[in-house]
Amino acid sequence: MTPDKRDATRPAKPRLDTPVMYLKGVGPVRAEALKRLGVATAGDLLYHIPHRYEDASTIAPISSLETGMQGTVIGTVVSKGVLPTRKGLRIFQAVLRDDTGMIEVSWPGQPYLDRTIAKDDVLLVSGAVRFFHGRQLQPREYVNLGKDDSGTAKGRVLSVYPATEGLSFKVIRGIIDAHLDELLPLVSEYLPRDVLRSAGVPTIGDAMRMVHRPTSLAEALEGRARLAFEELLFVQLLHLRAKALSRDVRRGIRFENKRALTTQLRAQLPFTLTGAQARVLREIFADMCSDRRMQRLLQGDVGSGKTVVAVFAMLLAMENGYQAALMAPTELLAEQHYGSIGRMLAPLGIEPILLTGSLKTKARREVASRLAEATPALVIGTHALVQQATEFSRLGLVVVDEQHRFGVEQRKALAAKGELPDVLLMTATPIPRSLALTLYGDLDLSVLDERPPGRQPITTALRPEAARSRVLEFVNQQLGLGRQAYVVYPVIDESEKTDLKAATTMFEILAADAFRSRRVALLHGRLPSDEKDAIMRRFRDGDIDVLVATTVIEVGIDVANASVMLIEHPERFGLSQLHQLRGRVGRGAEQSYCVLLGDVSPDSRLRLDIFVGSDDGFEIARADLQLRGMGDLFGERQSGVPTFRVADPLRDELLNEQARDAAQHLLAADPELDSPANAPLRAVMGERYARSLELFRVG
Ligand code: ADP
Ligand code: MG
């Protein structure tokens, strides 16, 4: 774009809908980075809220830090460098100084920080203090304030914004600060005054000023409460509306329980169903045999036996002359289901059909012609199932496995096939019932809260950095017995690149050293999906011994021979995520192990001990929610769930109750929210939640 053109399109004064690119100090490159943070317009910038604040009350003088303490300090980098260690790990170290003293800060395995942190930079670092040739701070988190920050320690409140690759928190803060004064007057209130009054929260303009430029932490929290309240209010309104709507439109197929195929399967199974499976099946059958359309979410911990439940439901559809489809998020999972369900149904003379993107044209045509026939069929596939070209003549039931891996559109597209099929969504993310209802609105909920008997518990342990070589030796012993292992590194959005580098670096180190006589492969989210599938296939087939990976392996893959899950930087994971990862082992007859490796702060230790001491996904999820909040539970891709950017329905319990009351009042007086008084509210909701609104109608 030429400078002239740019000037021509740049409005004299920004409006809320001005693209950020045209704001002073932004430009195309930063605009691209802001887009990754969900910021497209000047107005979005206002809603990019600090996720943390620091002020003098949270910052400790360096001299006051003592071993064993948690602390946050601000100091200037007086020296820095990368140290190699005997174990091959490279450590970035910096010495920080403030008015009271100096402390060494150490980042193991992150030598590349040497390029982003310069001498004389001012850093804010939080972490645990330990003793290692003197006091040393182990950063849990750090922010580079650049060269000129001195204000924070002198009583100002520092707003810390979510940042992204190529756009530091500091630049973001600068941009927001530069435009705040001209943007604030453009914001007008959209919540009714009495709603604000009864909730006791400030107006939107005041709240924006308070969260971005607070004069005290208390003020920042007050502003935050308003923004959290409005999110909770909107979501409550959406649910109540969705419920009202669904009461009218949910007519579906009425299946008849003929006890033909299902009875045969029950007789053929090598095990008896658990009490929970039997109960859940009754719930599902009741739905399917009523003329209401089923829209049910089945939650069950890893290994709780969801697949066989789905198979019973699919057989019920088939014995009524319908087709049933099971959609899985990856080709590998689809193939896995195709194999295991195929074996399960062989005695019944039923052969499933596999439909994935990599089918050859001829095979694909055969599948298409079988689906076009009006005969019962059981189809297993990936999102290829929902592509336009795939036509079902009599689709009666749709099952979506690992449903949180799919976008709303994909689930909807599948449910829209055929004649309003019943829908069963399955997930291993075990969240408390009340929260599930908040998140998933009018879906009915079934819970598998019992695991099949006879599972060997997975031995789980947390080991310090000092035990690294012993841990690696142990893994090697397991490999020597012919088993396979996963080694997992975290990926966090804020510093995704950094963590990927950690996985990549460690892959090289492990392949060259501890596992040099083994076949080692690297798997991460930036690989093209066919490459990922290819690597997973080789691991499944035993052609790879050690898989060094990021959390991409989380989803229900089943490699019975894998007996070790080694997780580094365990403090960076949500407990539920750790639990999902642990679920990747313990699938065969052999004793399996999950080892968390790293020196963690006492806080993290408390949290991780809950995980180490429990194998109950629900208990772990509940603890995780209480300790860390929602975002962490879902990781980065919980698509379709109306996301809370500010609110946390569990922690903000009181606000959530107030929001529910307010939503009920609003809808009681104005069920469609179409009175002129509610027009601004309706407009904002429409804009913000157009996609989420769709969620509540699965088909
Ligand atoms: P998930 O809920 O994680 O998808 P799966 O459906 O893959 O779990 O089941 C895990 C394993 O448990 C499978 O090997 C399955 O055959 C087995 N299984 C399921 N139900 C039972 C049961 N009632 N008794 C014994 N084993 C079972
Ligand atoms: Mg599964």
- Say what the pLDDT of residue 522 is: 92
Atom 26, ligand 1: residue with shortest CA distance:
452
| Residue 274 Cβ contacting ligand 1 at under 6 Å | yes
Smallest-distance ligand from the CA of 452: 1
Cα distance between residue 685 and residue 390, in whole Å? 35
Tell me the domains of the chain and their CATH numbers: 1-47+163-185 (no CATH), 53-160 (2.40.50.140), 261-289+304-427 (3.40.50.300), 459-614 (3.40.50.300)
- The pTM score is 0.66
CA of 304 to the centre of ligand 1 (A): 6
pLDDT at 12: 64
Give the contacts of 293 (CB within 8 A, at least 6 positions apart): 250, 251, 252, 253, 420, 422, 423, 699
Q: CA-to-CA distance for 630 and 643, rounded, in angstroms? A: 9
Specify the residue with its C-alpha closest to ligand 1, atom 19. 305
First to last CA, the chain: 43
The rounded distance, in Å, linking the Cα atoms of 321 and 124 is 65
Ligand 2 center–CA 210 separation, angstroms: 46
Sheet holding 295-300, edge to edge: 353-355, 377-381, 323-327, 395-400, 422-427, 295-300, 444-448
Residue 568 and residue 597 in contact, taking contact as beta carbons nearer than 8 Å: yes
What are the strands, taking DSSP E only, across 147-291?
A: 158-160
- Residue entry with tokens 């140290």: 83
* Best residue among 271, 327, 335 to mutate for probing ligand 1, ranked by most atoms within 8 Å of CB: 271
Rounded CA separation 74/516 (Å): 42
Task: Name the residue at shortest CA distance from atom 1 of ligand 1.
Answer: 303
- What pLDDT is stored for residue 582 in this prediction? 93
> Can you tell me which atom of ligand 1 is nearest the CA of 272?
23
Strands 158-160, 52-54: pairing kind: antiparallel
The percent helix, strand, coil of the chain (3-state, each to 5) is: 45, 20, 35
Q: Which amino acid is at 223?
A: G
Is 277 close to ligand 1, i.e. is its CB under 6 Å away? Answer: yes
Which regions of the chain are under pLDDT 50?
A: 1-8, 153, 492-494, 496, 630-641, 694-699
Q: What is the dihedral of CA 263, 266, 268, 270, to 10 degrees?
A: 180
Instruction: Please work out whether the CB of residue 269 comes within 6 Å of at least one atom of ligand 1.
Output: no
CA–CA distances in Å: residue 152 to residues 54, 57, 83, 119, 660: 8, 10, 31, 19, 38
Altogether, the residues listed in the chain come to a count of 699
271 lines ligand 1 (CB under 6 A): yes
* Beta bridge mates, 164: 167
Say if residues 180 and 223 touch (Cβ distance below 8 Å): no
Ligand nearest to the CA of residue 274, numbered in listed order:
1
- DSSP one-letter string for 49-63: --SEEE-TTT---GG
Nearest alpha carbon to residue 56 among 105, 106, 99: 99
Neighbours of 512 (CB within 10 A): 11
Hunting for tokens 């017995």 — which residue is that? Answer: 481
Q: How far is the CA of 626 from the centre of ligand 2 (A)?
A: 26
